[in-house]
Amino acid sequence: MRTPETSEEMWLINPFNGETLDEHTLEVWLKGNIGPVAELFNEDLDEADNAEVIRKLLDTLKSALMEERQMELALRASEALLQFNPEDPYEIRDRGLIYAQLDCDHVALLDLSYFVEQCPEDPISEMIRAQINTISHKQITLH
């Protein structure tokens, strides 16, 4: 968080504990989380609207839930993100990957295929095509 622009100097506040932050601390966090060559730019500190903050929060939550293998909850976060932009191919791709983990192969194929159609030049598309092929050839067992 940051103080309003009406104050003489900008204060950055850690929203988790209320402590003030300096740019050096932010640089260290950035390098630790992104990589050693990551840089903090002035526009990174621009004010964000509420929807952008909520989207970032939901995206972080979704990623954490996926890492923890809590796919049903990750799916809920993904669905909430799609409320902001229902045709976002990257979010639809993520939802497809979640569906694949939940063995909802038919729905996963729809989402993953949508991503490949919308973003054929994206470097990850080739990996997604391979996953689509694997899912398509999976044996379906009915009980």
Task: Summarize pLDDT for 56-113 with one digit per residue, the tens.
Answer: 889 999 999 999 999 999 999 999 999 999 999 999 999 999 999 999 999 999 999 9
Q: Are residues 54 and 39 in the same domain?
A: no
Q: Is 54 exposed, middle or buried (0-12, 13-18, 19+ CB in 10 A)?
A: middle
Q: Are residues 103 and 117 in the same domain?
A: yes
pLDDT at 112: 97
Q: Pick the residue with more confidence: 57 or 10?
A: 57
For residues 111 and 38, what is the distance between their CA atoms, to the nearest angstrom? 32
Kindly list the distances between the CA atom of residue 143 and the CA atoms of 53, 102, 140, in Å, as whole numbers in the listed order.
45, 17, 10
Q: Are residues 40 and 54 in the same domain?
A: no
What integer best gives the mean pLDDT of the chain?
87
pLDDT at 133: 92
Q: Are residues 63 and 128 in the same domain?
A: yes
87 lies in some domain: yes
Q: Are residues 28 and 70 in the same domain?
A: no
Query: Amino acid letter at 1?
Result: M
Total domains in the chain come to 2
Per the structure, the complete domain to which residue 131 belongs is given by: 50-136
